[in-house]
Structure 1
Amino acid sequence: MEKYSVLMSLYQKENPEYLRSALESMINQTVQPDEIVLVEDGPLTDELYNVVGEYEDKFPELFNVLVLEKNQGLGLALNAGLKVCRNELVARMDTDDIAVSDRCEKQLRFFENDPQLTILGGQIEEFITSPDKVVGRRVVSQTDAELKEFMKKRCPFNHMTVMFRKSDVIKAGNYKDWFWNEDYYLWIRLALEGCKFANLPDTLVHTRVGADMYQRRGGNKYFKSEIGIQKLMLEKHMIGFSTFVANSVKRLIVEKLMPNKVRGWVFRKFARE
């Protein structure tokens, strides 16, 4: 099957054991990656350096560690990492999640059958303590037409599940900085380039969440980021003014006006299964 790269970004606040689990899940794919590009986004803790060094020593041909002297944030870290990926197909993965063992094989087979496809994601199951204790499942649409419609209201991909063609992402401007929405911003630019989208119906990644994760989806900075995305889609004529207003009002209520506990309930009730 076609060779592929894995792109991951790591910063100092992450958990060494979670990182180990994430790396193991990608190394042990039924179709192993050709390389894992791990971006060190600024200085790390000794514990994280130890884990990275351990895997570099065990798999010297597999790991490509890119060191950024200062923390750049996810968008710019991924921008730098993607540039050094040596393969056309690139799988994104977070450093605290666990991929299912045949995730990449399923995605590679789908790309084989659709040479026009740019990006392919899938579903996620969320957990707090153990992957077999699911607390939520984020379900996204599957076909290109459905996803282009879905993205007018919500982010169309689970970022940690996607595999994409590097050349198309570079052509669209690569990852850029946009607080909490680096991925959504990229998907919008890919859509404007006419790129083809798809999601698998399968769960591809078990996603680790904190007990207060849903509650933290709020605050002024988060709200401004979300409204900025809506303004961008309005300016690019992806949505009309009525949709812009409706999306903005919903975000104002949920992200700024709701107490944290109520916001957590709303996310669990309406944004997750």
Structure 2
Amino acid sequence: MVWRWLVSIVAIVLIALTPISPGLAQPAPSDVTDAQFALGDKLRTQAFTATNEGNFVKAEQYWTQLIELFPQNPAIWSNRGNSRVSQNKLTEAVADFDKSIELLPNYPDAYLNRGTALEGLGEWDAAIADYQYILSIDPKDAMAYNNLGNAYAGLGQWDTAIENYLKASAIAPDFAFARANYALALYQSGDIAEAIRNMKNIVRKYRDFPDVRAALSAALWQDGQRGEAESNWVAVIGLDSRYKDLNWVKNTRRWPPSMVSALEKFLKLE
């Protein structure tokens, strides 16, 4: 899946991961038969099921079949792009999002999804342009602000990243990932005490949020609070063992360098 840092590239979740349009975004041509409509509904259901099960290869196959049935539908192209992002097939995903945007230039999901893929390719300026375009259409798009923060973080512009995470959180106070990214960026900027305070607040509200618990474990260990650090880490391992993999944390989840370093030290001494 995709954590739309989500979704920066992560097979998730998150998130991260990216909402998929539940239906066809444009009317199908009038010459489409009832049988084709029925097949389309079946394939769409199968694509959702495969996605929810984490079988992105199969999901991509279903979306491809849907494209063959409804080649002028921008949502289908965008959804296939999502399945390709989840397989780290980023160049192919960008091509799908390009096609979606060609068919429907003001379709914001395609810009958001393309921005995520561009981040994965390290094309930060292009990703920023996509997120800024979304905000020109909808200045209250919390996800666009969060992802804009991610892109600026990729450029090492942490103060600007923090500004965008704050905007995302102000628009959507329950957007847990924006708050988490804000705390991580604070840690990178050197505001350790405030970063830890924010992490603790997030964990109080979202007890099963492994990303923040893992970061809090590392930060507390570095701060000399060893017992509390280990207590949080026990919960992390029970929720998501990927945080033991520094390569995943650094290159897929894309934590800030100082946070990765803190986790590395914690893992070595654990």
Q: If the length of structure 1 is used for normalisation, what is the TM-score?
A: 0.29
Whose Rg is larger?
2
TM-score normalised to the size of structure 2?
0.29
